[in-house]
């Protein structure tokens, strides 16, 4: 059935519209954790080790307790009974992975600079910071190792003596006859690259605010987190607080990029102190403190080899990584380098593939997810290796890439995953054209010919990335304890407005706008008639949160299918009220068209609420939930040349 012309309007998805999130940010009405305060609350101060490795001989919190404004102070030993479990690690890659106990406050030893040794509760932040300086800690400094390769030496200081080694795990992935392909190769290359450790630095520091209700045993925790649902489950495990009694809220969050994809000691500490004192508790990190206690990123040594024919066809890739875990395993620390494990072949069709990663404990802040989490590291290595091969073959690096691109899709790559679609040649063509690659090459040669001291370099990089961090069965197969699914609920309210409840949790991405567009496109509501609710485990009980470029690919698709369920029920109600067969009713942009009449979903929502005239056996209300577990990762790809003008001397 063709809808009337006046019903079919311009598309909403993809249209330039004003972001719904921005007004409160621009007008100073956002809800930040550090702005929260209630009468009687205490502020936490955390005493942190200045040593990377030391034995704790003695801690005296007495001088701090005597300071004005200090309410209480505890050592790690004082708090040892507060923990029902260790701080969580959700990804244990192998059966023999060494996973150390990780208490929120150290008891016997510190294992990295910034390791917590005592906690102060005070009536103000100033009092807490002053009291930190008064705590007396007697340390016995011990030898430390900060380099992952050095930590594997036989005489290296051990981070965790109980394991007898600093090796956390070794994980392998092999496909194809790699040794034969290297033996038969006309050309081979080998490169060694270092991905340096880096420190995330979100605009908003991490912060936690807990309000308890002692009479009922309920706790509400506000946190600058990317993962409120995961935090609720894991913090319940760590503290022993019933998950049914723990509500976690991620309000407005000022950036994360992976650094807030974690369950941190300070969140557990705030809950433990709130339980002990029966008072609200707040903690906000300072910048220096954040550099010591928030996770770091990268820190790996890469060795990559390529085997190729004389014409530049890459036949095999062999990779060995040594990567630093830091002193402890945070939420997904050991799995981060493995997120790139399948991708060191890049966008290229190779036959043989070998990958080995050794995770290593060091006396440093733990590493974890940051900006692409393992996948940019893989791109860095393979793209540098391809450039090395191009130089060895005296071949244009763009041409070498062309000769090796995957061209037939779906493509099962050598490492075993399936890329559903792509056109890498087209992407590279557009990039070369837009940057005038041939012109830049000509200018480069001209400068060389005339001996110009100002040289011109050209960098090329292509990538393919597995995103959407799913599906759940694959995650389970690689021993990741969480699932890849996510959820969406749509409530068509009787007054003509709509609520969208999403299990994703934004921190700047614009979910409220994008999710409104998806719902408006399918259900015919105006953008302003749609309210998107997120980041509150009491409002949206089910969710897997935001990380790994998964929000739209998983949470957005869940919303799409939830809208389909709304349409299915609305069609049944419309057909019943029109007195026609359901097959005679079409839905176009929220309008149900029958042979002689039509109804909007808004009208049907009101009819479903009154329930005066529904099909037999149908429940009142117009609401639907969909839990989407994707069948594959999503696979973005791109090619990008970049001219770089560099002044040199001749």
pLDDT in tens, 277-331: 999 999 999 999 999 999 999 999 999 999 999 999 999 999 999 999 999 999 9
Gap between the terminal Cα atoms of the chain: 74
Beta carbons within 10 angstroms of residue 133's beta carbon: 11
Q: Are 27 and 266 in contact (CB under 8 A)?
A: no
Q: DSSP labels for 141-177?
A: E------HHHHTSTTSPPSSGGGSSSEEEEEEEEES-
The interaxial angle of helices 375-393 and 397-404, nearest 10 deg, is 110
Q: Which two tokens stand for residue 229?
A: 């649902």
- Tell me the mean pLDDT per 10 residues along the chain, length 650: 38 88 93 96 98 98 98 97 96 96 97 98 98 98 98 97 98 96 98 96 96 97 97 98 98 94 97 98 96 96 98 98 98 95 96 98 97 93 97 97 96 93 94 94 93 90 88 80 90 97 94 96 96 97 92 95 98 96 95 96 97 96 96 83 48
Kind and range of the H or E run holding 333: none
CA distance 468 to 484: 8
Q: Are 307 and 190 in contact (CB under 8 A)?
A: no
Q: Rounded to two decimals, what is the model's pTM?
A: 0.93
DSSP SS3 for 203: coil
**Which are the contacts of 450, defined by CB distance < 8 A and separation ≥ 6?**
none
Q: Which two tokens stand for residue 396?
A: 């244009």
HEC profile for 315-329? EEEEEEEEEEEECCC
DSSP tag of 5: T
Rounding to the nearest 10 degrees, give the CA dihedral for residues 522, 527, 531, 532: 70
CA distance 500 to 512: 9
CA distance 79 to 83: 8
Beta-bridge partners for 454: 647
Q: Are 500 and 559 in contact (CB under 8 A)?
A: yes
């Amino acid at each position: 059935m063709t809808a009337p012309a006046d019903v079919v309007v311009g598309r909403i998805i993809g249209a330039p519209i004003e972001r719904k999130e921005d007004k409160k940010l621009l007008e100073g009405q956002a809800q930040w954790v550090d702005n929260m305060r209630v009468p009687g609350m205490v502020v936490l101060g955390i005493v942190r080790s200045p040593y990377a490795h030391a034995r704790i001989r003695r801690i005296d919190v007495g001088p701090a307790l005597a300071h004005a404004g200090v309410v209480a102070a505890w050592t790690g030993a004082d708090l040892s009974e507060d923990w029902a479990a260790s701080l969580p690690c959700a990804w244990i890659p192998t059966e023999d992975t060494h996973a150390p106990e990780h208490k929120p406050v150290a008891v016997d030893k510190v294992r990295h600079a910034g390791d917590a040794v005592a906690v102060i509760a005070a009536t103000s932040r100033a009092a807490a910071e002053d009291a930190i300086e008064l705590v007396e800690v007697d340390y016995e400094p011990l030898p430390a190792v900060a380099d992952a390769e050095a930590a594997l030496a036989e005489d290296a200081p051990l981070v965790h003596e109980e394991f007898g080694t600093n090796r956390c795990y070794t994980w392998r992935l092999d496909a194809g006859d790699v040794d034969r392909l290297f033996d038969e190769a006309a050309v081979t290359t080998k490169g060694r690259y270092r991905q340096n450790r880096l420190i995330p630095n979100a605009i908003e520091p991490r912060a936690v605010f807990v309000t308890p209700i002692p009479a009922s045993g309920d706790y509400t925790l506000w946190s600058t987190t990317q993962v409120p649902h995961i935090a609720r489950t894991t913090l319940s495990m760590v503290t022993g607080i019933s998950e049914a009694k723990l509500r976690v809220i991620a309000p407005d969050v000022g950036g994360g990029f992976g650094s807030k994809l974690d369950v941190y000691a300070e969140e557990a500490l705030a809950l433990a102190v709130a339980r002990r004192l029966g008072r609200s508790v707040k903690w906000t990190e300072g910048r220096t403190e954040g550099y010591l206690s928030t996770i770091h990123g990268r820190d790996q040594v890469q060795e990559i080899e390529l085997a190729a024919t004389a014409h530049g066809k890459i036949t095999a890739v062999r990779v060995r990584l040594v990567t630093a875990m830091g002193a402890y395993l945070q939420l997904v620390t050991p799995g981060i380098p493995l997120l790139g494990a399948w991708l060191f072949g890049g966008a290229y069709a190779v036959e043989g593939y070998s990958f080995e990663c050794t995770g290593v404990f060091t006396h440093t802040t733990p590493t974890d997810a940051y900006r692409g989490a393992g996948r940019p590291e893989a791109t860095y290595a393979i793209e540098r290796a391809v450039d090395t091969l191009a130089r060895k073959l005296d071949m244009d690096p763009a041409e070498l890439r062309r000769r090796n691109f995957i061209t037939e899709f779906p493509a099962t790559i050598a490492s075993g995953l399936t890329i559903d679609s792509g056109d890498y040649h087209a992407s590279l063509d557009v990039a070369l054209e837009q940057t005038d690659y041939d012109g830049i090459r000509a200018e480069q040669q001209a400068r060389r010919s005339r001996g110009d001291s100002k040289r011109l370099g050209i960098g090329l990089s292509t990538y393919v990335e597995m995103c959407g961090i799913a599906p759940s069965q694959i995650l389970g197969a690689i021993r990741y304890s969480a699932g890849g699914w996510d959820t969406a609920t749509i409530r068509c309210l009787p007054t003509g407005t709509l609520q969208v409840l999403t299990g994703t949790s934004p921190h700047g991405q614009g979910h409220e706008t994008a999710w409104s567009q998806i719902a408006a496109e399918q259900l015919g509501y105006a953008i302003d008639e749609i309210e998107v609710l997120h980041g509150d485990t009491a409002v949206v009980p089910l969710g897997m949160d935001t990380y790994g470029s998964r929000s739209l690919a998983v949470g957005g698709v869940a919303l799409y299918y939830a809208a389909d369920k709304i349409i299915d029920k609305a069609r049944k109600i419309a057909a019943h009220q029109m007195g026609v067969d359901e097959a005679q009713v079409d839905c176009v942009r929220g309008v149900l068209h029958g042979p002689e009449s039509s109804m909007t979903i808004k009208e049907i929502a009101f009819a479903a609420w009154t329930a005066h005239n529904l099909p037999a056996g149908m429940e009142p209300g117009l609401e639907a939930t969909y839990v989407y577990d994707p069948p594959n990762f999503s696979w973005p790809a791109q090619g990008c040349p970049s001219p770089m003008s560099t002044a040199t001397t001749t």
